[in-house]
Amino acid sequence: MRKNNKKYKKVTILLLSIVFFVTIMFFVFLIFGEKDIVLTLSGKNMSYINYGENYKEEGYKAIYCNKYIKIFCKDITQKVTITEKNKTNISYSKVYNINFNGMNKTIERKILIVDKESPEIELVNSDLLTCPNKEYVEEGYNATDNVDGNITDKVIATVEKDKVTYTVEDSSGNKKTIVRNVKYGDNESPKISLIGDETINILLNNDYIEPGYNATDNCDKTVVVTTNTNLNTNKVGDYTVNYEATDSSGNKSIAKRNIRVIDSQNIEKNGKVVYITFDDGPGPYTKDILNILDKYNVKVTFFVTNQFSNYVPLIKDEFEKGHTIAVHTATHNFDKVYQSVDNYLEDFNSMNQIIYQYTGNYTKMFRFPGGSSNTASKFNPGIVTRIAKKMTDLGYIYYDWNVDSMDTSTSNSKTIANNVINDIAKHDYSIVLMHDIKKANIASIDEILSEGILKGYTFLPLTEASPTSHHRINN
């Protein structure tokens, strides 16, 4: 028995020695063994958020431990830094990084951005009516998305008789559909505009010539226009012409023109004398201008040419109606007539012979091509001065002008008329430059005469005794 106790005691001492050794080695391993950082994320490594929201951190932890036995670890979470990378409209990554005791650990969490918001479609002119007799014409629309921005080009529009359906889908598969109800109708009145002036003066016992009007409508190609008037051209007074335009939907609009019938015999003269002159004709519009002059019983001066042979016989009509006929040029070729004094005389005599042919008279009156102040003759220095002296020595008289209608610079009859009316008010006598080869002068001369007569101006043709209004010769 004593022998067994002795043996048991030895075994116990041996086991305790082993346990002590192992314990000592364990603590040595824990203290001096290889270390590691353990970095972990709470939640999932892939998280989802709605577009426009901020990610709410789910948590993370970092500990510093023995690499193999995770006890007596040190919490170093506060040393973790967080950054973001690869950020787009649909995802980005959060990067968790720690650097401690020469060791570095990194882990990533993927954030996926989910777009659940549908795009928006905005209609342009959603309340407009479509003409009853026309097909619907797209008024326009705009589509925007919170992620994709402007996606108008992705809209699909399906047109039916009474509606248009618009559908659009964004890059996340969200769809939007809206409907435009197409309303048919027309509540817009046609537009009517008068051609010519809203107030027209005509002489007693002369015919009223309707200048015309334009009528347009948003739905109809043609508009019915009716007119009525109380005009009596045989009685001095103020009258109106009324115009009414009606479209196919019954919408109406009106316009009014005032007509003043005046008796030139009862207009007090104000002392101003106006000499209207026409250059470069006869031409295609000379006949119409003669008719307007007849209407007002006004005589003017025509500085004629031989440019348009088909119309040259109108010189006879001009003369027989009491207008003054004078030479402008036969050829109206500046390079030729300003080549020499002899060339000018040859051209002048040629045109004077044509005037004699149609009137039975030669004239001593003329106007330089371009006027005496022209610069087109600069290629031959001093030529106009020499011609003027020669022609004056021969007894001829040249006429320039002190009022320019500017009818070679514009084809607007109203502008031409205003140029003349405004300028003749500045002179006691006015020699007005116009051209009967300009179509716009058919209407402008009508307005000039009606306004001038109303203001008490006296209109006369030039004669050899009239003022000449010479320019300063530039060559």
What gap in Å lies between CA 377 and CA 370, rounded to an integer? 9
Could you tell me which residues come within 8 angstroms of residue 212 by beta carbon, excluding any fewer than 6 positions away? 194, 195, 196
* pLDDT of residue 3 exceeding 60: no
Domain 194-264 has CATH 1.20.1440.230: no
Query: Could you tell me which of 358, 306, 299, 297 has the C-alpha nearest to residue 327?
Result: 306
From the list 223, 227, 224, the residue with the least C-alpha distance to 243 is 227
Whole-prediction pTM value? 0.55
Mean pLDDT of 176-199: 90
pLDDT in tens, 73-124: 889 999 999 999 998 888 899 999 999 988 899 999 999 988 888 999 999 9
Q: Which sign, positive or negative, has the C-alpha torsion 292, 298, 300, 306?
A: positive
pLDDT value at residue 475: 86
Query: Looking at domain 37-114, which of 3.40.50.300, 2.60.40.10, 2.160.10.10, 3.40.50.2020 is its CATH number?
Result: 2.60.40.10
Is pLDDT at 20 greater than 70 in this prediction?
Answer: no
CATH of domain 120-184: 2.60.40
pLDDT tens figures, 113-172: 888 889 999 999 888 888 888 888 888 999 999 888 999 999 999 998 889 999 999 988
Rounded Cα gap, residues 403 and 434, in angstroms: 9
Cis peptide before 282 (omega within 30 of 0): yes
Mutual angle of helices 441-454 and 413-424, in 10-degree steps: 30
Domain extents in the chain: 1-32, 37-114, 120-184, 194-264, 267-459
Burial class (CB in 10 A: 0-12, 13-18, 19+), 211: middle
Output 114 or 306, whichever has higher pLDDT: 306
**Which has more pLDDT, 296 or 322?**
322
Q: What is the pLDDT of residues 358-373, one digit of tens each?
A: 999 999 999 999 999 9
Question: What does the pLDDT read at residue 25?
Answer: 59
Q: Which CATH number fits domain 267-459: 3.40.50.2300, 2.40.50.140, 3.40.1390.10, 3.20.20.370?
A: 3.20.20.370
Q: Which residues contact 233 (CB under 8 A, 6 or more apart)?
A: 202, 204, 205, 206, 207, 208, 261
**What local confidence, expressed as pLDDT, does residue 381 receive?**
95
